Amino acid sequence: MAYRETPAVRRRLDAARDRLVAEATDVVAEVGWAGASVTAVAAAAGMSAGSVYQHFSSKAALAVEVFRRASGREVEVLGEVLRDGGGDPVERLAHGVEVFARRAMERRGLAYALLAAPADPAVGAERLEYRRRYRALFAEVVREGVAAGLLPEQDPGITAAALTGAIGEILVDPLVDPSDAAERLVAELRALSLRCAGASPAPA
């Protein structure tokens, strides 16, 4: 009898792929892109190195998927806060920056890998794409802020790019350890973002 893939098999394969991506994400968060060898990732996911190639055509393809999933989550969370977070546009901006920063500091290794760590060019290309998405989200809330008269006239696209670049850069380098300094960093980042957008001194 001829072989045909059943739903059960499909599910098992999909689950294995999911697990592979999830485990690979953890490995990358811990040891970075450079340390995340196919062997190490496969071991973490409980499969052989060869089996990885049943799911991805290359290590780079797996890396891209890891990047997309993790970054996609962040874009989604940020988008929700900026759009539906409640409050006026400036409050939403401040809150969005805070949430983004806190999440990055909670998973520092992953944040570094996603934002700045040297990576395969394929991941680099994906980074550009996701930065575009962050910019679109910030641009919208800045536009609303200007329309509401809460922010001075400005090119929202440029301010959005500045916010994206600034936040990424700030969260990258020291990514300070003591959780006391973390709160200070969030506060500074929040203040700075509002200054960038031209919000008057310090709302709440």
Partner DNA sequence: GTCTATAGAATGATAGAC
Partner DNA sequence: GTCTATCATTCTATAGAC
Footprint on this chain of a copy of itself (rule: CB under 8 A) = 33-34, 116-125, 127-128, 131-132, 135, 154-155, 158-159, 161-170, 172-173, 185, 188-189, 191-192, 195-198
Residue 13 C-beta: closest distance to DNA, Å: 6
The residue (of 17 and 133) whose beta carbon lies closer to a copy of itself is 133
The residue (of 6 and 179) whose beta carbon lies closer to DNA is 6
List the single partner that 167 binds among a copy of itself, DNA, none, CB under 5 to 8 Å by kind: a copy of itself
Cβ atoms of residues 108 and 117 within 8 Å: no
- The SS3 assignment for 177 reads coil
Residue 15 C-beta: closest distance to DNA, Å: 9
The residue (of 128 and 204) whose beta carbon lies closer to a copy of itself is 128
Q: Decide: residue 73, CB within 10 A, 0-12 exposed, 13-18 middle, 19+ buried.
A: exposed
Compute the distance between CA of residue 45 and CA of residue 62 in angstroms, rounded to an integer.
13
The residue (of 13 and 187) whose beta carbon lies closer to a copy of itself is 187
Buried (b) or exposed (e) across 3-40, using 16+ Cβ within 10 A? Answer: eeeeeeeeeeeeebbeebbebbbbbbbeeebeebebeb
List the single partner that 40 binds among DNA, a copy of itself, none, CB under 5 to 8 Å by kind: DNA
